Chain A
Amino acid sequence: MASSSGSLPRYIALRVLLIVPLVWVLLTVVFLLLRVAPGDPVSATVGDRLSEDALDERRAAAGLDRPLVVQYLDYLGNVARFDFGNTFRTDTPILSIVRDQGGATLTLTVGAFLIALLIGIPLGRLAGRFRDTPGDVAIRVYGVVSYAAPLFWVGILLVVLVNAVAPSFPTNDIASPFTKLDSEAYTKTHILVVDTLLAGDTGAFLDVLQHHLLPCLTLGFLLSGVIVRLVRINVIQALQGDYVEAARARGIGEGRVVRKHAFRNALVPVITVVGLQVALTLSGAVLTEKTFNWPGVGSALVRYIGERDYIAVQGLVTFFAVVVVFTSLIVDVINALVDPRVRY
């Protein structure tokens, strides 16, 4: 990496350049897995329904009869132009699937993150301050259980609970049928929360928000455990710092020491690691979307896996890889802006 005199622009430039090999490695892994493995996408998808000649025709149409090296270069070139290919059965561009369904995944994950921070930071702070007390043990057990409990099981428990308490509360999909019909017009940003608001339709907006509650809680529950553990360990470490000892020596009360001195410093590493949870969040989103029939990218992936559509699976997995790489770039840049120690 850059020398210790590295400046901020230099660091950011290096970090952006690093994206190219990173994406390249991931794309190569995806290609190797899905294409070089024996068998081919065409016979896996429609092999049982077509004759051998028809299969050859389909292979040629999809460009699968060319040498693997050509296919590989072609694939890299297409991804560079943000072309992730078309689904095999319906010939829909993957990018249009992402455009139509990405908004639902985006609002799901953002909502889940907010909930996770809202639960995780206070709990982690409490546990860190009162280390080894029964309260700390209870919060740590919460952290472990939130990670141990299968996400889909948590989701269904919430559904059962809500059905018992408020039977009319939505537990499925992103909007009620009546809203959905109207929402054909809501395609300005393809993010339903924003579109309903832009259209000034308060009823639909509230309906969509209500639908977000359970999926966001479910995914947020998983993430909150991670954040609890992180904040706890960082508060503990911060409380061992010399400046905390100095604050205590000046006679500042323990509550104020934690609030003003330890807690803020404990949050800096949390920003980094929270950014690294994108991978976990996307994994969780796939499960959450399947549980709640959420019309997001994760549901699309599960559907195409069920249909054995290799090309669609390859395209969507590639898209996820690109998302992960770019989010980690953004997180690193934010980090460099917040914390001067990062710019090494």
Chain B
Amino acid sequence: MRGLWRTIWDTKGVARWVLVGGVLVTLVFVAFALLAPWIAPYGFAQNNIDGTKLPKLAEPGSGYLFGTNDQFYDVFSRVVWGSRTALQVIALSVVFAGIIGVPLGLVSGFLGGWVDRLLVFVMDAVYSFPALLLAIVFSFLLNDKVGGGVIPAALSLTAIYIPQYFRVVRNTTVAAREATYVEAARAIGAGPFTIMRKYLFNNVVQSVPVVATLNAADALGTLAALGFLGLGIQPTEAAEWGYDISRGLDDAQSGVWWPAFFPAMAIILLITSLTFVGEGLNETVNPALRRRRHRPFRFPQRDAAQEVSS
């Protein structure tokens, strides 16, 4: 861990600030998600206090930090609860995709042959397909059969990202397969499963965090798009920013900007910071892109040097 911190700190240019800034903003959203019941003044689908309805479309500030929307909901509460939904869906879809994509890539790259060729071909075909359309088809099916909750939404995003993990892991595996340490492992009698689990996995998995954070950013955008098309998480299940924006669009055209504005800002901020984390990680940890900072160097005192020589 200290080694990683060193690497990041020694990187030249804005890369490390991009990384730190991205992590900080992401942490704010994580705090929102974890502490939503304590931070949000109202529930995500609460439009009354003890039977008295909240005002409709109240302006921001007037007792409601971000105002209220056309369904009598408090916009600030929806944004806070929405970060819980967003992070749940993102985390689940990234984990699902990783669980499927990483072992597939590892096995495919390690085995080679026709299994590898077939898998690469299928994955490339899926990857070439428009991501949003794939997610639309999946959530169209899942909405019909399972319902519009967090887990169906996460599942419909999973399929998009499997090929990306597969590719990265497969390519690094192919490169690592011929390395001396794998040959050594084979020489002392390690079976294929042991080689993959003990030797290759740790070396190959290092490229995953960058892909995962960039996918997380993309997943959030796709989730919002599904919500906009009315296919994502249904409003009764959880607060979702994309749905809130699409609901607020008509109001926005007539000058009532706040119901759509704040969730949109939340999306932009969270995607931007996740992208910063991903690109920052890439530029600091990836030796090919990384540029080292020249640390200030001070020559030793002249008389001290003389003392040494004498």
Q: Chain A: residues with CB nearer than 8 A to chain B? A: 21-22, 25-26, 29-30, 33-34, 37-39, 44, 132, 137, 141, 144-145, 147-153, 156, 159-160, 163, 276, 279-280, 282-284, 286-287, 290-291, 301-302, 305-306, 308, 313, 317, 320-321, 324-325, 328
Q: A26-B125, A287-B132 are in contact. Are A148 and B221 (CB under 8 A)?
A: yes
Contacts beyond the supplied A283-B132, A287-B132: 7 A-B pairs with Cβ under 8 Å: A37-B141, A144-B272, A147-B221, A148-B217, A148-B275, A286-B136, A286-B229
Distance between B127 CB and nearest chain A CB, rounded to angstroms: 8
Interface residues of B in 113-131 (CB under 8 A from A): 121-122, 125-126, 128-131
Q: Given the complex of chains A and B, what is the CA–CA distance between A254 and B221 in angstroms?
A: 39
Q: A149-B264, A152-B246, A283-B131 are in contact. Are A29 and B145 (CB under 8 A)?
A: no
Q: Which of A147, A163, A306 contacts B230 (CB 8 A)?
A: A306
Question: A150, B242: Cβ atoms under 8 Å?
Answer: yes
Q: Given the complex of chains A and B, what is the CA–CA distance between A325 and B272 in angstroms?
A: 31
Interface string of B250-276 (1 = CB under 8 A from A): 001100010010001001100110011
Question: B126, A29: Cβ atoms under 8 Å?
Answer: yes
Residues of A within 8 A of B242 (CB): 150
Q: Given the complex of chains A and B, what is the CA–CA distance between A34 and B140 in angstroms?
A: 9
Determine if B228 is an interface residue (Cβ-Cβ < 8 Å): yes
Can you list 25 pairs linking A and B with CB atoms under 8 Å apart? A22-B121, A25-B122, A25-B125, A29-B126, A29-B129, A33-B138, A37-B145, A148-B217, A148-B267, A148-B275, A149-B268, A152-B225, A152-B245, A156-B252, A156-B253, A156-B260, A279-B128, A282-B132, A287-B229, A305-B140, A305-B231, A317-B137, A320-B130, A320-B133, A325-B128
Interface residues of B in 265-289 (CB under 8 A from A): 267-268, 271-272, 275-276
Determine if B224 is an interface residue (Cβ-Cβ < 8 Å): yes
Q: A37-B145, A39-B145 are in contact. Are A152 and B249 (CB under 8 A)?
A: yes
Distance between B224 CB and nearest chain A CB, rounded to angstroms: 5
Q: A39-B144, A153-B260, A282-B133 are in contact. Are A147 and B253 (CB under 8 A)?
A: no
Question: B271, A147: Cβ atoms under 8 Å?
Answer: yes
Distance between B183 CB and nearest chain A CB, rounded to angstroms: 28
Residues of B within 8 A of A159 (CB): 253
Determine if B14 is an interface residue (Cβ-Cβ < 8 Å): yes
Question: B272, A25: Cβ atoms under 8 Å?
Answer: no
Q: Which of B129, B221, B268 contacts A321 (CB 8 A)?
A: B129
Determine if B13 is an interface residue (Cβ-Cβ < 8 Å): yes
Q: A34-B141, A37-B145, A38-B145 are in contact. Are A290 and B276 (CB under 8 A)?
A: no
Residues of B within 8 A of A151 (CB): 225
Q: Name the CB-closest residue of B to A21.
A: B121
- Chain B interface mostly: helix
Q: Chain B: residues with CB nearer than 8 A to chain A? A: 12-14, 121-122, 125-126, 128-133, 136-138, 140-141, 144-145, 217, 221, 224-225, 228-231, 242, 245-246, 249, 252-253, 257, 260, 264, 267-268, 271-272, 275-276
Q: Given the complex of chains A and B, what is the CA–CA distance between A282 and B132 in angstroms?
A: 9
Residues of A within 8 A of B132 (CB): 282-284, 286-287
Q: Name the CB-closest residue of A to B220.
A: A148
Q: Which of A137, A150, A305 contacts B225 (CB 8 A)?
A: A150
Q: Given the complex of chains A and B, what is the CA–CA distance between A26 and B128 in angstroms?
A: 10
Question: B137, A313: Cβ atoms under 8 Å?
Answer: yes
Residues of B within 8 A of A34 (CB): 137, 141
Q: Given the complex of chains A and B, what is the CA–CA distance between A180 and B252 in angstroms?
A: 27
Question: A279, B252: Cβ atoms under 8 Å?
Answer: no
Residues of B within 8 A of A145 (CB): 268, 272
Q: Given the complex of chains A and B, what is the CA–CA distance between A313 and B134 in angstroms?
A: 12
Residues of A within 8 A of B136 (CB): 286, 301, 305
Q: Name the CB-closest residue of A to B291.
A: A132
Residues of A within 8 A of B253 (CB): 156, 159-160, 163
Question: B276, A144: Cβ atoms under 8 Å?
Answer: yes
Q: A21-B121, A39-B145, A152-B228 are in contact. Are A324 and B140 (CB under 8 A)?
A: no
Residues of A within 8 A of B257 (CB): 160
Distance between B223 CB and nearest chain A CB, rounded to angstroms: 10
Q: Name the CB-closest residue of A to B255.
A: A160
Residues of A within 8 A of B144 (CB): 39, 44, 308
Q: Given the complex of chains A and B, what is the CA–CA distance between A21 and B275 in angstroms?
A: 35
Residues of A within 8 A of B229 (CB): 286-287, 290, 302, 305
Question: B145, A30: Cβ atoms under 8 Å?
Answer: no
Q: Given the complex of chains A and B, what is the CA–CA distance between A156 and B247 in angstroms?
A: 12
Residues of A within 8 A of B13 (CB): 132
Q: A34-B141, A283-B131, A305-B229 are in contact. Are A153 and B271 (CB under 8 A)?
A: no
Distance between B215 CB and nearest chain A CB, rounded to angstroms: 13
Residues of A within 8 A of B267 (CB): 148-150, 153
Q: Given the complex of chains A and B, what is the CA–CA distance between A137 and B21 in angstroms?
A: 14
Residues of B within 8 A of A321 (CB): 129
Q: Which of A137, A150, A320 contacts B221 (CB 8 A)?
A: A150
Residues of A within 8 A of B129 (CB): 26, 29, 279, 320-321, 324
User: What 9 pairs across the A-B complex have the smallest Cβ distances?
Assistant: A283-B132, A148-B271, A25-B125, A279-B130, A153-B264, A282-B130, A283-B130, A132-B13, A148-B272
Q: Given the complex of chains A and B, what is the CA–CA distance between A163 and B141 in angstroms?
A: 38
Residues of A within 8 A of B246 (CB): 152
Q: Which of B14, B121, B128, B228 contacts A150 (CB 8 A)?
A: B228
Q: Name the CB-closest residue of A to B13.
A: A132
Q: Given the complex of chains A and B, what is the CA–CA distance between A287 and B245 in angstroms?
A: 13
Q: Given the complex of chains A and B, what is the CA–CA distance between A149 and B241 in angstroms?
A: 12
Residues of A within 8 A of B221 (CB): 147-148, 150
Among the interface residues A38, A152, A286, A321, which one has the most CB atoms of the partner chain B within 10 A? Answer: A152
Question: B133, A290: Cβ atoms under 8 Å?
Answer: no
Q: Name the CB-closest residue of A to B249.
A: A156
Among the interface residues A153, A282, A291, which one has the most CB atoms of the partner chain B within 10 A? Answer: A153
